[in-house]
Amino acid sequence: MLQSQLFTKTQKDISADETSAGTQLLLRAGFIDKAAAGVYTILPLGFLALQKIERIVAAAMDGLGAQRVAMPSLVPKKNWEATGRWAGLDVLYKVKGKGGEEYGLGATLEEIVTPVAQKFSFSYKDFPFAIYQIQTKFRDELRAKSGLLRGREFLMKDLYSFHVDQKDCDDYYERVKEAYFEIFKAAGLAPITFLTLADGGTFSKFSHEFQTVTAAGEDIVYHCGNCGFAVNKEIKEDYPKCPECGSADFDEKKAIEVGNIFKLGTKYSAAFGFEASGADGGKLPVLMCCYGIGLTRLLGTVAETSRDENGIIWPQAIAPFEIHLIELEAKDGEANREIKKNAQKIYSDLQKKNISVLYDDRPGKSAGEKFKDADLLGMPRRLVISQKTLEQKGVEIKKRGEKETKLAGLDKICDYNFQDR
Ligand SMILES: [Zn+2]
């Protein structure tokens, strides 16, 4: 993409009421724009990163054999009443149509997915199966001061699995746990993300959260120094010792919840009278689990945890572009033409190799301005072509977050291994 064509620009000043440093950087870099507290527009560069996150998450869900659907955001009142959540879910936005019909805006989708699954599944032979979607969610959060970390409108992946056998349910839950770690690994969050025991509700002793440790986190987790698990605050109150290993050696940390998984048991299936016929002709209860990951929150978490004082440092897998190619203007017209010609060739050759490039072709910008913007935008590698590099028949390469630069030959740049260096 040509940076001269990008309609967004980096900004010096943003509103002071953003408390998350990562969200501040995303706003300054022009990845997102704030419409209201907890409500954001995802701008072109932010959208590219979000799309990459979406692909990683969707591929993981497909790998689990889950089938993708798109459920509505307007969830009829009667569905919420069936589960008692019209009155019981305090974050529900309620809207009324012209004919007086009422809806709750999708905050979570058990009220849709359960009756849908019920329409097609009658016998134990129809189980197990899993359904997922990646869709906008709405939650009427009282406090929405942490930017993308706690939105009132946000993009979320929710997966629901359906089983008639407890062991099958438990096995699938473990598979999802592993898939989640793979997702957080791809997003560069694995070393600071802990599996955290949380309250399980009515049907299970524990549920699990995936908590990423960062000072901007709104949650407090207690990391067990002995076994590596973490427990959240409510569990810590119930279990002064680690429920996994019995150690009392806890380290208190602030964290962001980037995912959560629950065994729901028959909580929602029973509310809709959803049962399956068994092999002997009797009725079997349907067991459900739900598994969430907030995609916009994940974007905000990466910006929060992977940055320095100059800007974001995108992990390769979710960077909007792999390469930020910068041409520096020379004073001399002839030299300038030579710089542009070489920059355009590199831009075109790299794209032919399926390497995504943001090309800073903006005229009239100083080297300082271009480098500052490149650091703020945070693409994994910066390539600079200038009169100085051309005199050495080369291109300067710098990895974001490192100080050292290297010179690669003009004719070698397309064969350069950008993954390893
Ligand atoms: Zn432990």
Span from the CA of 228 to the centroid of ligand 1 (angstroms): 6
Q: What is the DSSP string of 171-233?
A: HHHHHHHHHHHHHHHHTT-GGGEEEEEEE--SS-SEEEEEEEE-TT-SEEEEEETTTS-EEEH
Q: How far is the CA of 248 from the centre of ligand 1 (A)?
A: 8
- Give the integer Cα–Cα distance in Å for 336 and 328: 8
Rounded distance from Cα 237 to ligand 1 centre (Å): 15
Q: What are phi and psi of 340, to 5 degrees?
A: -65, -45
- Expressed in angstroms and rounded, the spacing between residue 302 Cα and the centre of ligand 1 is 27
State the pLDDT at residue 421. Answer: 39
Distance between Cα 245 and ligand 1 center (Å): 4
Structure tokens at 361: 């072709």
C-alpha 108/C-alpha 92 separation (Å) is 9
| Dist CA 251 CA 213 (whole Å) | 12
| Ligand 1 center from residue 223 Cα (angstroms) | 8
pLDDT at 195: 94
Residue 237, pLDDT score: 87
CA of 183 to the centre of ligand 1 (A): 24
Distance 367 CA to ligand 1 centre (A): 52
Query: Measured between alpha carbons, how far is 299 from 182 in angstroms, rounded to an integer?
Result: 16
Per-residue tokens: 45? 């560069």
Q: Within a 13 Å sphere around the CA of 54, how many CA atoms are in the beta-carbon half? A: 15
What's the distance, CA 332 to chain centroid? 46
* pLDDT tens digit at each of 421 positions of the chain: 999 999 999 998 777 777 789 999 999 999 999 999 999 999 999 999 999 999 999 999 999 999 999 999 999 999 999 999 999 999 999 999 999 999 999 999 999 999 999 999 999 999 999 999 999 999 999 888 788 888 999 999 999 999 999 999 999 999 999 999 999 999 999 989 999 999 987 778 899 999 999 988 889 999 998 988 899 988 988 988 998 899 989 999 999 999 999 999 999 999 999 999 999 999 999 999 999 999 999 999 999 999 999 999 999 999 999 999 999 999 999 999 999 999 999 999 999 999 999 999 999 999 999 999 999 999 999 999 999 999 999 999 999 999 999 999 998 888 888 775 3
CA of 222 to the centre of ligand 1 (A): 10
**Cα 319–chain centre separation:** 12
CA of 158 to the centre of ligand 1 (A): 29
Angle at 303 between CA 69 and CA 217, to 5 degrees: 90
pLDDT for the residue numbered 417: 81
**What's the CA-to-centroid distance between 249 and ligand 1, angstroms?**
8
- For residue 39, the cross-strand partners are 36
**What's the CA-to-centroid distance between 239 and ligand 1, angstroms?**
11
Q: Are 160 and 61 in contact (CB under 8 A)?
A: no
Task: Single out the residue of 293, 284, 267 nearest to residue 113, CA to CA.
Answer: 267
Ligand 1 centroid distance, CA of 140 (Å): 35
| pLDDT score at 415 | 84
Alpha carbon 92 to chain centroid, angstroms:
22
